[in-house]
């Protein structure tokens, strides 16, 4: 894993095989929960990279902390929403 400063545990609503096939470059491990969900664990020194990795899943996710990661995901979502609003306003 790239860094160990911040750890994240994410439930992804996709199989471990689907996650691995979609995102082979991901660092971390996807372990099956059942046929349609997996748990992805990863860490990084930079919360922005963690947020971006989570955003790239292309599936519904549940993020189990840390609270700072939730805040970073919220900030990323707001920035992306602003990009869309600006593009539509042109």
Other residues' Cβ atoms within 10 Å of the Cβ of residue 7: 17
How open is the CA angle 45-46-52, to the nearest 5 degrees? 130
Which pLDDT belongs to residue 62? 97
Mean pLDDT of 75-81: 96
By percentage, how much of the chain surpasses pLDDT 70?
96
Token digits of residue 55: 């955003």
Say which CATH topology domain 6-89 has. Answer: Alpha-Beta Plaits (3.30.70)
Confidence of residue 14 (pLDDT cuts 50, 70, 90): very high
Domain limits of the chain? 6-89
User: Taking the complete model, does pTM exceed 0.85, yes or no?
Assistant: no
């Amino acid at each position: 894993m790239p860094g160990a400063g911040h750890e994240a545990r994410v439930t992804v609503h996709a199989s471990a095989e689907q996650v691995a096939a979609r995102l082979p470059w991901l660092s971390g491990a996807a372990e099956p929960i059942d046929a349609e969900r997996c748990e992805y664990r990863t860490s990084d020194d930079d919360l922005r990279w963690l947020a971006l990795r989570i955003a790239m899943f292309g599936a519904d996710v549940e993020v189990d902390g840390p609270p700072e990661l939730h805040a970073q995901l919220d900030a990323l979502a707001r920035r992306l929403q602003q990009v869309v609003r600006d593009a539509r306003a042109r």
